[in-house]
Structure 1
Amino acid sequence: MKSKYVILASALLISVATFAQKDQIKSAEKALKSGDAQGAVTILTGAESLVANAKDTEQAQFYFVKGNAYLDLANKKIDESKNLSLAAESYKKLIEVEKASGKQKYSTDAATSITNIKGLLINSAIADTQANKHKEGAKKLYDAYELDKKDTINLYYAASTAVNSQDFDLALPMYEELKKLNYSGKGTLFLATNKASGNEDNFSSAKDRDLAIKLGTHEKPKTEAIPSKRGEIYKNLALILVQKGRTEDAKKAIADARKANPEDTSLILTEANLYLESKDFETYKKLVGEALEKDPNNADLVFNLGVISAGAKNNADAEKYYLKAIEINPNYANAYLNLAALKLEAEKPIIDEMNKLGTSAKDMKRYDVLKAQREGVFRGVIPYLKKANELDPKNEDVAKTLLGVYKALEMTAEAKALKATMN
């Protein structure tokens, strides 16, 4: 008989707890309706330990009210990021409970709220990055991805933003997840200019864009390919791993990526850059050569071969590659700049010899020869420096170098005109 009384007592305790929880949910709803969202959260937090034993309908109601309370706080800009995440977490639990029970009462409203929260997180992240608060922005973009894992672009932006904040510990797991998903980001943009605003709008399909053109709301249609982002993703992943002293892991990550995406030439260059960072120049050149076989008109690849040749003091090859890059892309500013720098290296031995000369007739004659050679070097770089300055007018180093050359050659008019553009 005694044991029966114990069982009855336990049942009564559970019953009392359930009734208490119902009262707390009602009290929280009342507080929320009166504008006291924080009070509602406090009430529900006190009932958290009882939720597991509640009926499915009561659990769903509990998480729905809690989600609404957190969202209300976020909308009032109170710990906005934290409360948006907590609201989303509550709504997701609600949806899980109702999905398991097969009874849906709040799920539709919760799903709508989650979509709104996702938009709020993204907008808040954009505001953070514009204010140079990249770490905060990265976390919000990741939270947005967590809400809708089908929208993988938010994970990509979260990782990129984390890198901009120099928080590599935050960025690393994001890039590892992108690798696991084999994320590409490759796609197509269907664009047209909005006649009313003058802005370029993106459409979900060519059909939708063409309809807007037909209706007369848009003009100037164009289609642009969105290139694969795998090369950038694996490059950043590798560089982070290298920085952490995990070079072999970095090499393995890129090797895995290339196996999964054998036609993606950007990954070959990413692997090449890794070997460049580790100063394995022979492997670097081999990989760049492999990439050039697949994409011979890639100006970046050719330019990088010029950089590595210059680094190895092979100036003849460096000049050949820079000129080839310009042939492929006549507006390649860095190729013109590096060509000029390469040719200016010839000035140093001339200056060194001039400084060693004395005042004898023989030395003075040699001085005049060397002076003419130096002027020849300067005149030879002017076309490259002028083009680099034209293509990149904000580059102060280019302008200053060109100004120095003009002054050395006593080209007063040219120096004066250039200086006027620098002020």
Structure 2
Amino acid sequence: MKKILFLFLMIVSIADVQAQRSQVRNAYGYLSTGNLDAAKKAIDNASKEEQVANRPRTLLYKSFIYSGIALDTNHKAAVFGELQVALDAIKQITGKNKGSSIGQDDVDDAFNRIFTASYNRGMRAYNENNLRDALRYFEFASQLNKEDTSLYLNQAVLAQKLFEKEKAIQAYEQLLKMNYKTPEIYRNLGKLYEETGKAADAFRVFQEGREEYPENEGLAFDELGFYLKNGNPADAIEMLESVIKFDPTNPTIWFSLGVAQLKAGTIGEAEDAFKKAVELKPDYYDAFYNLGLIYYNSASKLIKKANDQSRFISEEEYSVYRNDYLQELNVAEKFFEKAYALNPKDVNLLMPLREVYVRTGQPNRAERLRAEIYLLD
């Protein structure tokens, strides 16, 4: 009786296996005709029997079917799960268990289908402004093609837009390791390091970028900004002076040199640089404003000195101080008024200009600016 029961169970088991294998064939048939839902149902049923589920052909068809679902443009929902199932299935087909009927070309085809599906999904998500899903799809695709620079570039740009700065840094660094270099990559990577408090890395990236692209203006200004923010005006001045050799008629470079000179405390050189900037660009508001500020600040120091000494000096000696600071204020007025003609709405300009009018005995003009400042505030 036991033998009969055992034989019966064996027959049932063999029949189940045969049925599952039949489901595998059915799944492939459905896949061939584009009936992905039926193909998925059949391959899932076939995979319930462990002996069948682990067969190379079952795994291959399972990968084909799930990547096919991911490729299907009619399938609107996210397909991260389907892509992972497809990838896990094909990874199980190793050299040890690869069947004689499954060749390397089949395995390569499966990987290519998964890659194509993930890349296409990433592009679709990006075009639909679903940036987070797009980033995930491109990250998935890069597992399958580690040599495709476009994947890392997409990841870097998307991660930066999503404020995932560490991911963006990793992607940009990977591009540089792959010898994929552009000025924008160096600029973006340097700024990301700066924003995440990694000054040494930012300095390294800006330096490397400038060595690769010594004439790139954008990189030069980014490096300048970094130097100025991190207290390196001397380095900024040296860098700008080298840039000017390539582009001596660029007013922005001369203005930036003036800013660096101001930070370094070399006021005379700063004044010369700002004057060169307005010579090249007569409507350069910021340069005129800074020229006015140089003389305004000089006058302020003289006024303070005169006031500090007023109790210890004669009226005649005090008038010497007064004449000196009035001369500085008159020059400041000239530059401030040129700036005012270009932009009369800047409170940062109106306040010192009003002070100049007060100090130089022009009450009507001072009152007019007081009213303008009140309206702007």
Q: TM-score, normalised by structure 1?
A: 0.58
Specify the code of the residue in structure 1 equivalent to 2:37: E
Deviation at 1:271, TM superposition (A): 4.9
Determine the C-alpha separation between the residues in 2 that align with 1:153 and 1:372: 62
CA–CA distance in structure 1, aligned partners of residues 108 and 176 of structure 2: 37
CA distance in 1, matches of 2:237, 2:11: 81
Q: Partner amino acid for 1:422?
A: L
The AA in structure 1 aligned to 2:292 is: A
Distance 1:251 1:175 in 2: 16
Partner of 1:200: none
% identical aligned pairs: 16
Q: 1:178–1:379: structure 2 CA closer, same or farther, 3 Å change rule?
A: farther
Aligned equivalents of 1:151, 1:391: Cα separation in 2: 46
Match in the other structure for 1:400: 351
1:3-402 equivalences in 2 (<5 Å)? 29=37, 50=53, 53=56, 54-65=58-69, 72-73=76-77, 83=78, 100-101=105-106, 115=120, 118-124=123-129, 139=132, 142-143=135-136, 150=150, 154-155=154-155, 157-158=157-158, 160-161=160-161, 165=163, 168-180=165-177, 182-184=180-182, 229=184, 232-233=187-188, 235-236=190-191, 239=194, 243-244=197-198, 247=200, 249-261=201-213, 263-264=215-216, 266-267=218-219, 270-271=222-223, 274-276=226-228, 278-358=230-310, 363-392=314-343, 395-402=346-353
Q: What is the SS of the residue equivalent to 1:324?
A: helix
**Are residues 172 and 59 of structure 1, via their aligned partners in 2, closer, same or farther at CA, if it must alter by over 3 Å?**
closer
Is the CA contact (8 Å cut-off) linking 1:265 and 1:295 kept in structure 2?
A: no
CA distance in 2, matches of 1:387, 1:93: 70
The Cα of 1:344 is off from its aligned counterpart by 1.6
CA RMSD of aligned residues (A): 5.2
> Structure 1 residues 91, 311: closer, same or farther in 2, change over 3 A?
same
Aligned amino acid, residue 175 of structure 1 = Y
> Aligned in 2, Cα 1:359/1:307: closer, same or farther, shift over 3 Å?
closer
Q: CA deviation at 1:317?
A: 0.4
Deviation of 1:183 after TM superposition, in Å, equals 4.1
Per-residue deviation, residues 228-249 of structure 1 (Å, max 9, x unmatched)? 53562353255358x236x2x4
- Tell me how far apart the structure 1 counterparts of residues 205 and 198 of structure 2 sit (CA, whole Å): 14
Structure 1 contact 160–171 (Cα < 8 Å) conserved: yes
* 1:225 match: none
Residues 378-417 of structure 1, C-alpha deviations (whole Å, 9 max, x = no match): 3322343344445456643233333443444422464266
Q: Which structure 2 residue ranges, 5 or more long, are not aligned?
A: 1-6, 94-102, 142-147
Deviation at 1:329, TM superposition (A): 2.7
Cα displacement (A) at 1:60: 1.4
Match of 1:353, SS state, is helix
Residues 313-354 of structure 1 show CA distances to partners (whole Å, capped at 9, x for unaligned) of 211101001111222233333222222222221123222234
**Cα distance change on mapping 1:156 and 1:172 into 2, 3 Å:** closer
Contact 1:306–1:322 (CA under 8 A) maintained in structure 2: yes
CA contact (8 A) 2:152 2:174 kept: no
Give SS of 2:64's match: helix
The alignment status of 1:422 with 2:373, answered yes or no, reads no
Residues 255 and 274 in structure 2, CA contact (< 8 A), matched pair in contact too: yes
CA shift at 1:293, angstroms?
Answer: 1.4
Q: What count of residue pairs does the alignment treat as equivalent?
A: 334
Q: What's the CA shift for 1:289?
A: 1.9
Quickly say closer, same or farther: Cα 1:297–1:99, change in 2 above 3 A.
farther
Q: CA deviation at 1:252?
A: 4.2
Structure with a larger share of its residues in strand: 1
- 2:100 corresponds to which residue? none
Letter matched to residue 170 of structure 1: K
Structure 1: distance between partners of 2:277 and 2:90: 56
**1:345 match: secondary structure:** helix
Aligned equivalents of 1:400, 1:21: Cα separation in 2: 82
- Counterpart residue type for residue 353 of structure 1: K
In the superposition, the TM-score normalised over structure 2's length comes to 0.63
Aligned 8 A contact 1:66 1:87 in 2: yes
Q: Secondary structure at the match of 1:72?
A: coil
Q: Which runs of 5+ in 1 are unaligned?
A: 33-39, 74-82, 126-136, 185-227
Match of 1:210 in 2: none
User: Residues 36-58 of structure 1: CA distance to partner in whole angstroms, max 9, x if unpaired?
Assistant: xxxx9xx89x98x9588525334
Give how far 1:421 is off: 6.0
In 2, Cα distance between the equivalents of 1:313 and 1:305?
Answer: 12
